[in-house]
Amino acid sequence: MRVPSHLWEQLWPEVRRPGEHEPVVFGLVSHGVTPRGTIILVRELVMPPPTAFVRAAGHGAKWTGAYNIALLNETLERGLGIVIFHYHPGRADVQFSGDDEASARQLLPAFQVVAPGRPHGSIVLGESSATGLILLPNSSTLTGEISLRFFGDGNVVTFPRSKAKPEDLLLHRRQPLVAAAVSKSRLKDATIAVVGLSGGGTQVATQLAALGVGEIIGIDAQRVTGDNLVATDAFGWADILLSRRKATALRSKIWWINRRVRFTPVNALVPERPAIEALKRADAVIGCVNNLKSRADLQEIAWRYCIPYIDIGLGLYPLDPDDELSEIAAISGNVFAAVPGGPCLWCTGFLTQEKLEKEAGNANRSYLRTTLSQNNRRPAAYVSSFNGVLAALAVSDALQLLLGYAPSLSVRKQYDALSGTIAEIAVQKNPACPKCSDVLAAGEPLWQ
């Protein structure tokens, strides 16, 4: 179960609020399906008014039948499921009470009768854990095998956490970048997808392998060419001679760096089905693509399934784009980490419909941003070192997501290669962003 950051900021204080009865919050959820299981995506929260509750025996809360009907009507109209959230204080390893289980076994099948195409559940939160019961679509069996992931201030937190000794947890809280038990475990348990295995993507993947990330999914349908040799150090002349696919060639490189890392090559383009299915199960996506259309596709997939998305890009900009001999005026790169519930590429203005339409008829796939390169003559450029800087920044952002060593990711990093400087530009979520409202946690569509 994945909860976007802006919803977690509402959910956590609300369920812990003192009152006459146990606070309850309803989550309206969508879902997605992967070979490893079902992803439940919290799309919206509903805080029931005080008038919805009635007195009940026991420690829990009870609400009226009329409120149940109104809530079910809303979920049916919007094609969503219902998850009930509440909180138990005082225990690190939280447990379902007898009242909780009896209520779940009564309510969840009733929810499923009205909205059979979506999951329904009851979750109890603790200070550092969560448990509950879930009823999946097309199933009559309640399952307690769940994990809860929420996005905090620039990092990802997943319950239940791996078991660790108190002294190891203390060390991680104080020195999360030390290669000790907790940090190693979290990196080993992580799956990161890298999309675009050219100059930036290959260097991202090799750095992730050196860190010991458990699985790296490499997505690219192209074969190694001569241009790639001056954009990265991950390929060699033999890869060109053998006409190897980038993903296959990189798998060999990853094995030599760290044979304990699993590298999964996906020879497909986004948004082809094999690429989407691979992305859905990733803990984070790092996009190293060279056009806005691919960025828009990756941003939508990441938001639809609540996956952090880190975007990098590099360009060489001449004084006169129409002159093939014009001097280079700027070598500029960008790194931006978008955490579900925070600002996206559309919020920041990096993506706009106008830019996409302009690119559609004149897509530039070269590092050198000239009219010449746009007309299918694509000169190579010596950019391996610049790509290495951007790759390092992206991997550092991934480390922040997994280990939480820095305060926040709410900035866009602007790299000026000519001066060798990196500027941080503050970004804010746009409340009117249509992509955030329409796509975030939308999951897979229900076909009526």
* pLDDT tens string 55-93: 766 656 788 889 999 999 999 999 999 999 999 987 778
- Residue 176: asked if its preceding bond is cis (omega within 30°), the reply is no
Cα torsion at 128, 26, 80, 52 (round to 10°)?
170
Q: How far, in Å, CA of 88 to CA of 94, rounded? A: 7
Domain ranges of the chain: 2-151, 167-439
d(CA 73, CA 389): 52
What does the pLDDT average to over 281-289? 97
Determine the pLDDT at residue 388: 96
Averaged pLDDT for residues 427-448: 87
* Mean residue pLDDT across the chain: 91
Phi-psi region of 392 (alpha: psi -120 to 50; beta: other; left: phi over 0): alpha
Res. 421: pLDDT tops 50: yes
Which residue, among 200, 190, 197, has the nearest Cα to 262 in the 3D structure? 190
Q: What number is the average pLDDT over the span 149-157?
A: 83
Q: Which helix (H) or strand (E) holds 286?
A: strand 284-287
At 234-261, the pLDDT tens digits run 999 999 999 999 999 999 999 999 999 9
Alpha-carbon gap, residue 41 to 83, rounded angstroms = 10
pLDDT digits (tens, 9 = 90+) for 323-356: 878 899 999 999 999 999 999 999 999 999 999 9
pLDDT of residue 259: 96
Max CA pair span of the chain: 82
- Predicted confidence at residue 375, as pLDDT, reads 47
Q: What would the pLDDT profile of 185-239 be if each residue is shown by its tens digit?
A: 999 999 999 999 999 999 999 999 999 999 999 999 999 999 999 989 999 999 9
Per this entry, what is the length of the chain?
Answer: 448
Distance CA 443, CA 39 (A): 8
- pTM, full prediction: 0.93
CATH 3.40.140 for domain 2-151, yes or no, is yes
The CATH superfamily holding the domain 167-439 is: NAD(P)-binding Rossmann-like Domain (3.40.50.720)
pLDDT at 376 over 60: no
Tokens of 108: 């969840």
